[in-house]
Amino acid sequence: MLHSMTGYGEAQGHFQGTAYTTEIRAVNNRYFKARIKLPDLLMFLEDEIEKMLRTQLSRGMVSCNLRLKDALQNESFDINEKILARYIKKLRRVSSAAQMQNKFDISNLLTLPGVLMPNEPEDSMLKDLKDFVIDLIQQALDRLKEMQAAEGVALENDLKSHCQQIKEKLVTISNRSRVVLEDYHDKLKQKVETLLAESDVELDQATVLREVAVFAEKSDITEEITRLDSHLVQFEENCKTNGQAGRRLDFLAQEMLREANTIASKAADVDITSDVIDIKCCIDRIKEQVQNVK
């Protein structure tokens, strides 16, 4: 079963009067990259959280954001009164010089650098907080992976649909390639007979057969059809795996395009070329969708 790299997960909880909200977003990327935003109190968890994300997501651009609300309801934060007093003193001096009223919004003052400071928690409380945060992030991760799995089903169905279209075109091309050889033989024979109609030279059937054999060898696409069909089988088998299949599917799509290009270059027939164009359109769609697969 395929999984998409795109997903979103959110989880909320309370710890000692403080509301915690975590959001995890994942989008397409060739490799794993993480952007983690944590409150100052929890910066020591950054490495452990990144390891969690890397282990469970493996690929994609992942953003993890942890926010706090109602932080002043517990003792994890305190106001640095000395720094706040300095801010107020300077603001009063500036407002007096500018002949402005001294009206200060305490909520805005608390956002100034150094005013709101985290207290150093006790070791026992810090351990409980760590367990709480890790569990909260795991909940968000689980929800993100549920979304990735749901989108993966849609991706798999779309990819298999394009593979089936390619298979149908390959059957048509295979049948047409046999007719092309017969048509070339008849056209070559007719052309030679026309050129020699007014001469006494007799048609050498062996020469015609040699020319047909050369044409058959140059335009033979049997191997390419077989390899492309084999790639399709492998592609669909890899869609059933539970691991990270994105890179393997991307490689197989590249190989399918290679075989399709070879068929187009070797086939000396308008109908076959038209079918190959349709196949290449399907492969381009596959390549585009595979970039979303984990």
Least confident span in 139-148, 168-177, 215-224: 215-224
Would residue 88 count as lying in a domain?
Answer: yes
Tell whether 2 is covered by a domain: no
Establish if 116 belongs to a structural domain: no
pTM of this prediction? 0.67
Q: What are phi and psi of 63, to 5 degrees?
A: -115, 125
With 60 as the cut, is the pLDDT of residue 198 above it? no
Assess if residue 115 is contained within a domain. no
- The token pair at 182 is 């017969």
* pLDDT tens digits along 142-170: 999 999 999 989 999 999 999 999 999 99
Same domain? 145 vs 12: yes
**Confidence band, pLDDT 50/70/90 cuts, at residue 111:** confident
The predicted structure's pLDDT at residue 186:
58
pLDDT category at 106 given cuts 50, 70, 90 is confident
> Is 59 inside a domain boundary?
yes
The domain of 99 spans: 77-109
- Check residue 73 and give its pLDDT: 46
Q: Is the pLDDT of residue 242 over 90?
A: no
Residue by residue, what is the 3-state secondary structure of the chain? CCCECCEEEEEEEEECCEEEEEEEEEECCCCEEEEEECCHHHHHHHHHHHHHHHHHHCCEEEEEEEEEECHHHCCCEEECHHHHHHHHHHHHHHHHHCCCCCCCCHHHHCCCCCCEEECCCCHHHHHHHHHHHHHHHHHHHHHHHHHHHHHHHHHHHHHHHHHHHHHHHHHHHHHHHHHHHHHHHHHHHHHHHHHCCCCCCCCCHHHHHHHHHHHHHHHCCHHHHHHHHHHHHHHHHHCCCCCCCHHHHHHHHHHHHHHHHHHHHHCCCHHHHHHHHHHHHHHHHHHHHHCCEC
Average pLDDT over residues 240-245: 76
Number of structural domains found in the chain: 3
Does position 273 have pLDDT exceeding 90, yes or no? Answer: no
- Residue 85 and residue 144 share a domain: no
Kindly state whether residues 137 and 97 are assigned to the same domain. no
| Lookup: tokens for 281 | 């359109």
Give the percent of the chain with pLDDT over 90. Answer: 40
14 and 99, same domain (yes or no): no
